[in-house]
Amino acid sequence: MKKTTEKIRVALGERSYDISIGSNILDRLGDNLKSFGLSPRIAIISNPKVYPLYGKRVSDSIKNAGFNAITVTIPDGEEYKDLLWIQHIYDELLKAKLDRSSALIALGGGVVGDITGFAASTYMRGISYIQVPTTLLAQVDSSVGGKTGVNHKLGKNMIGTFWQPKLVWIDVATLKTLPLRELRAGLAEVIKYGVIWDEKLFDFLELNRNKILSLDRDSLVHIIKRSCEIKAEVVSKDERESGLRAILNYGHTIGHAIETVTGYKRYLHGEAVAIGMCLEARLSTMLKFIDNNKVVRIKSLIESYGLPSEMPAGIDIKNILSSIQLDKKAIAGELKFILPERIGNVKIYKGLNKKVLKEMLRS
């Protein structure tokens, strides 16, 4: 069994950084911060669910490496990813006299990662931060690429920055405490990487489902590493989403609309994306960009991981359509879709005829 820590470089010039992936590596985090020239004052940002599980190991590791760590917790939940809790974080950082060379450590899922990144990007005009993601979704997606943000009452992730972390430290052993539903939601994003970029990853997901769902270490490291490599490559080529990075939104146009219309209560993000990927693949067959047998393969893989694949009953298609048009990624009302052409490749398709979309949603 491989025991080494895998390392991936996100190549962004002077903003480049490493992603380290291993099992039971939380205790080694502190030593790996020594080379960054940080001040001794560090803050761990976490929540009351994750901190009791992993906080002491992270905090001891940092203290043993010669840093003083304070801890700031925010309540657990998407509804606390807002400017009010940012204000609380600033208060605690100022009280503890964190300075311009200090760093924040995000210990938790995507919510903690996004809010910590935003706080780091604005505190004293920007300080360092380290991502220690503890959900699969955060490990394969949100901790990499530097999108930070908080929600506004008029829209999710409407306030944010691009601010790259100094290091992403992924301990796959933390997934042992993650609820199965959250694990599956993260797997939707891994399936996404297979469809948009890498048929071999897609094959691996088809062939190793039981191992992955039973948290086999090597299988997890493999799928997380491959996902991070793909995200790193895409982000290196298009950090600010002026082109290529949009392919990471496969399944997200319809997925976001489903989340909005169902009030963010019925589905986890990954579950809505799973439905979105199936419907956007169907759209692609209607436009004759992909063979239907590939669409069946995508849908089967999604379903085999216990993820939803159909538009929920009782949803008003009109609401889905208007939500798609209001998406922050739509430019001047023009619909932009990421459509698979085969497994391992997608195209960015602009100017979709609304009739085709309506027909697909009604079918």
Please give the positions annotated as active site. 125, 147, 189, 231, 241, 245, 249, 252, 256, 269
Answer for which of 22, 44, 61, 81 binds ligand NAD (CB under 6 A) is 81
Cite the DSSP H helix spans in 56-130: 56-64, 83-95, 110-122
Binding mask 88-107 for ligand NAD (x = CB under 6 A): --------------------
Sign for the CA dihedral angle at 62, 63, 67, 73 comes to positive
Which residue, 158 or 356, is less far from ligand GLY as judged by CB? Answer: 158
Q: Which does 177 bind (CB under 5 to 8 A by kind): ligand GLY, ligand NAD, none?
A: ligand NAD
- DSSP label at 311? P
Distance (Å, whole) CA 53 – CA 87: 25
Which residue, 73 or 280, is less far from ligand GLY as judged by CB? Answer: 280
Task: Give the interface with ligand GLY as residue ranges (CB under 6 A).
Answer: 141, 145, 147, 241, 245, 248
Q: Which does 245 bind (CB under 5 to 8 A by kind): ligand NAD, ligand GLY, none?
A: ligand GLY
Burial of 157 (C-beta count, 10 Å sphere; 0-12/13-18/19+) = middle
Q: Which residue is nearest to ligand GLY (CB)?
A: 248
Kind and range of the H or E run holding 131: strand 128-133
- DSSP label at 334? B
- DSSP label at 312? P
Q: Which of residues 252-271 bind ligand NAD (CB under 6 A)?
A: 269
Kind and range of the H or E run holding 237: helix 217-237
Q: Are 131 and 167 in contact (CB under 8 A)?
A: yes
Answer for which of 33, 141, 259, 346 binds ligand NAD (CB under 6 A) is 141
Q: Can residue 191 be called a binding residue for ligand NAD (CB under 6 A)? A: no
Among candidates 60, 123, 113, which has minimal Cα distance to 89? 123
Q: Which does 248 bind (CB under 5 to 8 A by kind): ligand GLY, ligand NAD, none?
A: ligand GLY
Residues that bind ligand NAD (CB under 6 A): 47, 49-50, 53, 76, 78, 81, 108-112, 114, 134-135, 137-138, 141-142, 145, 147, 157, 174, 177-178, 182, 269
